[in-house]
Every structure is written in structure tokens, then in C-alpha cells.
């Protein structure tokens, strides 16, 4: 069976390929020109929109992720707008650092909603994961993508851009969302 990865984000793509490697599926990339408008009002609504529309357009199973960074002191911003908070990932980080200047409450969480649809566009599986951390006052580390250089995990003493990818895969919002889904996906794709 085929499974379309319904994302244009290279950082997500890399992580998904790692998680899904063990499955008996042929991973297919979404065509670049197949863009889904994210009109939902929650991460899960957007994940379902992306999975469902890509699955229907391709006539194959599809998996989508809608995710973002919610900062407590910014009332949950950038949230649903994490990818569009500024003109580039780098500018997004600059904006967050500026908005948090002088702020002592640095608590934040990454949220990830994952949805999986069959070729008829019906949602078959869905799950959400949360990972709490703190926003640093400057970048630290070279790995990862997006907001990873400023997202710090106190228990580990490193940012998502510093920790081993395997460790991020285990503790991240995406990892937690997928952990619950992988056994179900395995069942689905061994039929």
C-alpha cells in the first residue's frame, strides 16, 4: 500500500520518514502544487483538512500534521499561525524573541495534530501530542527546523536544535502524537 505524506515542510518530512520507516508501506511525497488551504480553527481541523483533501486528490491513504508553538505569555500565539508568523522561519524566531523581550514567563508548548485519511478522503485515525518547554532569549543549536533553536527542554538541558534527533523523536509533540497511532497504522497496513 501507498501512504502519501501530506506536507511541504522538509523538517516534518524528515521526521515522518523516520517514524514510518518500519511500516510495510511505500511512502509517497505530496505533489508540490497540491496545496490545501488551512481554514480550520484548531490544529486537528487543519490536519484533517490536509489529510482528507490530499488523500482524495491522490486516491491514496494520506497522513498530515498540523502543528505549532503556543507561548503562555502570548496567550497561545503564534499557535495556528506558527508557519506564517513572519516571512521566514528565521524571522519568525526574531518576532517571538522581540515579543518576549523583558518577559519572565517563558513557558510554552509545541502541539501536533496528526490525521490519517483513506483514499476516499475519510478520516480513519487521528491523535494529538503536546510537548512543554521554555523559550530562550537567544538561539541555541544548529539542528532541527522552525522554532527548534529557541525551544528548551529543562529536563534535558538542551534545545530541540541541540538534542539528538532520536531524543526529539521520542519526546516531541510529533513523537507523542504518532506513538499512539503507529500500532494502529501497522495493523491497517498489514491487511
Q: Is 19 in the site for ligand ITT (CB under 6 A)?
A: no
Q: Is 127 in the site for ligand ITT (CB under 6 A)?
A: no
Question: Which of 172, 177, 178, 181 touches ligand ITT (CB under 6 A)?
Answer: 172
Q: How far apart are CA 90 and CA 103, in angstroms?
A: 20
- Name the helix (H) or strand (E) containing 169: helix 165-171
Residue linked to cell 530541540 = 160
Report, in Å, the least distance between residue 19 CB and ligand ITT: 12
Indicate the length of the chain as a whole number.
Answer: 191
Chain positions 24 to 83 lying near ligand ITT, rule: CB under 6 A, are 38, 65-69, 82-83
Here the cell at position 10 is 522538509
DSSP state of 36: -
CA separation (Å) from 77 to 54, 71, 101, 184? 27, 6, 15, 32
Q: How far apart are CA 44 and CA 88, in angstroms?
A: 24
Q: Which residues belong to the annotated binding site? A: 7-12, 37, 66-67, 145-148, 168, 173-174
Helix (H, G, I), strand (E, B) or coil at 90: helix
Question: Which of 16, 61, 147, 152 touches ligand ITT (CB under 6 A)?
Answer: 147
Of 10 and 102, nearer to ligand ITT (C-beta) is 10
Q: Which residues belong to the annotated binding site for Mg(2+)? A: 37, 66
Q: How far apart are CA 117 and CA 102, in angstroms?
A: 44
Q: How far apart are CA 92 and CA 114, in angstroms?
A: 23
**One character per residue 84-123, x = contact with ligand ITT (rule: CB under 6 A):** -----x--------------------x-------------
Q: Which residues contact 142 (CB under 8 A, 6 or more apart)?
A: 149, 161
Give yes or no: 66 in active site.
yes
Report, in Å, the least distance between residue 73 CB and ligand ITT: 18
Selecting among 24, 33, 66, 72, the annotated active-site residue is 66
Q: Is 149 in the site for ligand ITT (CB under 6 A)?
A: no
Q: Is 144 in the site for ligand ITT (CB under 6 A)?
A: yes
The residues that are catalytic are 66
Residues that bind ligand ITT (CB under 6 A): 7-9, 12, 38, 65-69, 82-83, 89, 110, 144-148, 160, 172, 174
Amino acid at each position: 500500500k501507498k501512504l502519501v505524506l501530506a506536507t511541504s515542510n522538509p523538517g516534518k518530512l524528515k521526521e515522518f520518514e523516520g517514524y514510518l520507516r518500519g511500516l510495510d508501506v511505500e511512502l509517497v511525497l505530496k505533489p508540490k502544487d497540491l496545496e490545501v488551504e488551512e481554514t480550520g480553527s484548531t490544529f486537528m481541523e487543519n490536519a484533517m483538512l490536509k489529510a482528507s483533501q490530499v488523500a482524495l486528490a491522490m486516491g491514496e491513504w494520506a497522513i498530515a500534521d498540523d502543528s505549532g508553538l503556543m507561548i503562555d505569555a502570548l496567550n497561545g500565539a503564534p499557535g495556528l499561525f506558527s508557519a506564517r508568523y513572519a516571512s521566514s522561519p528565521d524571522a519568525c524566531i526574531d518576532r517571538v524573541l522581540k515579543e518576549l523581550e523583558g518577559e519572565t514567563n517563558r513557558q510554552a508548548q509545541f502541539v501536533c495534530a496528526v490525521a490519517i485519511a483513506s483514499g476516499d478522503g475519510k478520516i480513519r485515525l487521528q491523535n494529538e501530542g503536546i510537548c512543554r518547554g521554555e523559550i530562550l532569549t537567544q538561539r541555541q543549536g544548529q539542528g532541527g527546523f522552525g522554532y527548534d533553536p529557541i525551544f528548551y527542554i529543562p529536563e534535558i538541558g538542551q534545545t530541540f536544535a541541540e538534542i539528538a534527533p532520536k531524543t526529539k523523536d521520542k519526546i516531541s509533540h510529533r513523537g507523542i502524537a504518532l506513538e499512539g497511532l503507529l500500532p494502529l497504522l501497522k495493523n491497517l497496513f498489514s491487511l
